[in-house]
Amino acid sequence: MSAGVLLALDVSNSHTTIGAFEGDELVGHWQVSSDHRRTADEWWLMLTGLVRQSGLPAVQAAVMSCTVPAILVELRVMQARYLEDLPVSIVGPGVRTGVPIHTDNPREVGADRIVNALAAVELYGGPAIVVDLNGTATIFDVIDEQNRYVGGAIAPGVELSLEALARRGAQLRSVELVAPRDVIGKNTVEAIQSGAVFGFAGLVDGMIDRIIDSLGADPDHVTVVATGAFPDAVVDVCDRITTRDPWLTLTGLRLIHDKNH
């Protein structure tokens, strides 16, 4: 790769993870809010400002995954306005990944899920389960022993659930997401923390067990990767997570760029 960085954007509903690669090395990473009001010019100013502030070379290529239609429109405008002469990939139909998608409708699989599947196949091989824990959703993506993406599951995210609980529960409140002294809470705050931390850990472990049973795989030979902006308090008490890779999606984006350019 010539002098310059590959800019990788993973845009989800609540936040955007940005990575800068020099070759295969992730040399910078940032997280910002996914503001649907941000214009194409604002996106470009923010991205180039982050790269420049970090003392990195100029952007020479970009790869993007976006699950928010309103933001995707602005990213395409940004591409046409500022990246017209550079190699750019936007994950979607027509972009090569090399991972067979065995679902009822492959076109409806989210771009971020395809990216995670590719990274899991390349880094760990199947069978594997990617658990993407972010504020909005808890997403399980499944790769079988033949390295095919075969589907997954989507559950509410822990932060979204806590926000809904505080909003709808008259005598409940927002709490810090940390493990309480014991699973049996001795006060309201600890009771909510117990439900959030141990409850979601139970959800994650239970779903992993069911997915492994459905695959008919040996549990000892299934890699389970936690990624996303996962809350450490929850992942720390999960029994079935074997690997933590917070930058799995960024790695997958880099791999997609390599396969398409």
Lowest mean pLDDT among 40-49, 71-80, 225-234: 225-234
Three-state SS string over 167-209 comes to: HHCCCCCCCCCCCCCCCCCCCHHHHHHHHHHHHHHHHHHHHHH
CB 17 within 8 A of CB 229: yes
Any idea which residues carry the catalytic annotation?
A: 112
Q: Examine the pLDDT at 6 and tell me if it is beyond 80.
A: yes
The pLDDT score that the predictor gives to residue 171 is 59
Tokens matching residue 105: 């409708």
Checking if the pLDDT of 1 tops 50, the result is no
CA 55/CA 60 separation, integer angstroms: 15
Which of 45-49, 127-131, 195-199, 231-235 is predicted least confidently?
Answer: 231-235
93 pLDDT tier (thresholds 50, 70, 90): confident
Predicted pLDDT at 177: 83
Q: What angle do CA 147, 248, 44 make, to 5 degrees?
A: 125
Q: Return all residues near 86 (Cβ < 8 A) that are at least 6 apart.
A: 59, 60, 61, 62
Q: What is the pLDDT of residue 131?
A: 96
218 pLDDT band (50/70/90 cuts)? Answer: very high
Query: What is the average pLDDT across 26-53?
Result: 95
Answer whether residue 170 shows pLDDT above 80.
no
User: Is the distance from CB of 177 to CB of 165 less than 8 angstroms?
Assistant: no
Per-residue tokens: 46 = 């923010």
CA 57 to chain centroid: 26
- How does pLDDT run across 143-169, given as a tens digit for each residue? 999 999 999 999 998 888 888 887 776
pLDDT of residue 101 exceeding 50: yes
And the tokens for 231? Answer: 């809350």
How far does CA 176 lie from the centroid of its chain?
22
Residues whose CB is less than 8 angstroms from the CB of residue 230 and which lie 6 or more positions away in sequence, other chains included? 131, 133, 134, 244, 246
Q: What's the token pair of residue 64?
A: 């993007």
